[in-house]
């Protein structure tokens, strides 16, 4: 029987490079499924509904909350963001390693519900690089960039709740390290309980 997939949560300050890392991880390796979140923020140029996010109205998002369709949700700089439950459960059952790219409040709620989830926090090499990346991306107004940098300072207070830090300096090195950390989870005892039971019965029959 195929083992259940790993649930990996990836967080990090806005502009740290999470989206870029996710893209490279999925391009380089096979067994990953990236969860697509729902949000009430507007699509950026080049983003498509159902690809980067499911873009919803506040009313539609709140209905999903009421119907318990989300594993977790949070407010981030004036908008809702949340993780649809069905996709995550289905892909994990298929043995896929599922990635949630979500902010810190959501990450903590996921850990409560899925204690075996691995929590990764992506950091830029330094704060100035973060500001430059966020500005260089050119997708947000100065006001929103300021709000996101303030939010980064708040989020930095919660990093100890994570299992691992990944420094996104050299992109390829960071992707490789992320892959290694997630794949390492397959060796956890809690991930192999059936195998252990199987071995116990085989040993009794010797
Ligand atoms: P996030 O999803 O964390 O908000 P993005 O993936 O959008 O961040 O990256 C923010 C900006 O930084 C983008 O313009 C991206 O091209 C750039 N970037 C990401 N990773 C690196 C890296 N390792 N080195 C240099 N620039 C990077
Ligand atoms: P952005 O607007 O830059 O795409 O995302 C803003 C923040 O929302 C990022 O920190 C991102 O990780 C987070 N985020 C994206 N999807 C979800 C989600 O489903 N739940 C939570 N809690 N945060 C999310």
Centre of ligand 2 from the C-alpha of residue 102, in Å: 4
- How far apart are the C-alpha atoms of 114 and 127, rounded to whole Å? 31
Tokens encoding 16 = 């740290």
- How far apart are the C-alpha atoms of 44 and 62, rounded to whole Å? 22
Measured from CB, residues less than 6 Å from any atom of ligand 2 are 14, 37, 41, 72, 74, 76, 81-83, 101-103, 105-106
Give the count of alpha carbons within 13 A of 80, CB side only.
21
| 15 carries a ligand binding annotation | yes
| 33 carries a ligand binding annotation | no
Residue 83 near residue 70, CB atoms below 8 Å: yes
- How far apart are the C-alpha atoms of 25 and 73, rounded to whole Å? 24
| Edge-to-edge strands, sheet with 37-39 | 53-55, 37-39, 79-84, 70-76
Distances (CA, A) of 126 to 9, 16, 112, 130: 22, 10, 30, 7
Which residues on neighbouring strands pair with residue 33, listed in sequence order? 98
- How far apart are the C-alpha atoms of 102 and 72, rounded to whole Å? 10
pTM of the model: 0.94
Q: Whose CA is nearest to atom 12 of ligand 1?
A: 133
| 12 carries a ligand binding annotation | yes
Q: Is 136 in the pocket of ligand 1 (CB under 6 A)?
A: yes
| 17 carries a ligand binding annotation | yes
The predicted structure's pLDDT at residue 2: 61
Q: Tell me which of 14, 16, 51, 81 to substitute to probe ligand 2's pocket, judged by most ligand atoms within 8 Å of the beta carbon.
A: 81
- How far apart are the C-alpha atoms of 110 and 129, rounded to whole Å? 29
Q: Is 7 in the pocket of ligand 1 (CB under 6 A)?
A: no
Tokens encoding 73 = 């949700």
Give the pLDDT of the chain (206 residues) as one tens digit per residue.
567 899 999 999 999 999 999 999 999 999 999 999 999 999 999 999 999 999 999 999 999 999 999 999 999 999 999 999 999 999 999 999 999 999 999 999 999 999 999 999 999 999 999 999 999 999 999 999 999 999 999 999 999 999 999 999 999 999 999 999 999 999 999 999 999 999 999 999 99
**Closest-CA residue to 118 (of 173, 186, 174):** 186
The predicted structure's pLDDT at residue 65: 98
Q: Which helix (H) or strand (E) holds 81?
A: strand 79-84
Q: Is 19 in the pocket of ligand 1 (CB under 6 A)?
A: yes
């Amino acid at each position: 029987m195929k083992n259940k997939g790993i649930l990996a949560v990836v967080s990090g300050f806005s502009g740290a490079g999470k989206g870029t890392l996710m893209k490279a991880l999925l391009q380089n390796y096979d067994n990953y499924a990236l969860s697509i979140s729902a949000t009430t923020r507007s699509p950026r140029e080049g983003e498509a509904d159902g690809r980067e996010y499911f873009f919803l109205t506040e009313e539609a998002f709140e209905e999903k909350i009421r119907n318990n369709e989300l594993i977790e949700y949070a407010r981030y700089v004036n908008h809702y963001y949340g993780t649809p439950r069905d996709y995550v459960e289905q892909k994990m059952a298929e043995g896929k390693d599922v990635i949630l790219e979500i902010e810190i409040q959501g990450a903590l709620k996921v850990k409560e519900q899925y204690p075996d989830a691995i929590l990764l926090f992506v950091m830029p090499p330094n704060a100035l690089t973060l500001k430059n990346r966020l500005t260089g991306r050119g997708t947000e107004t100065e006001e929103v960039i300021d709000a996101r940098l303030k939010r980064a300072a708040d989020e930095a207070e919660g990093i100890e709740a994570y299992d691992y830090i990944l420094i996104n300096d050299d992109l390829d090195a960071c992707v490789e390290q992320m892959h290694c950390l997630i794949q390492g989870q397959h060796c956890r005892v809690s991930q192999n309980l059936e195998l252990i039971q199987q071995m116990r019965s085989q040993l009794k029959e010797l």
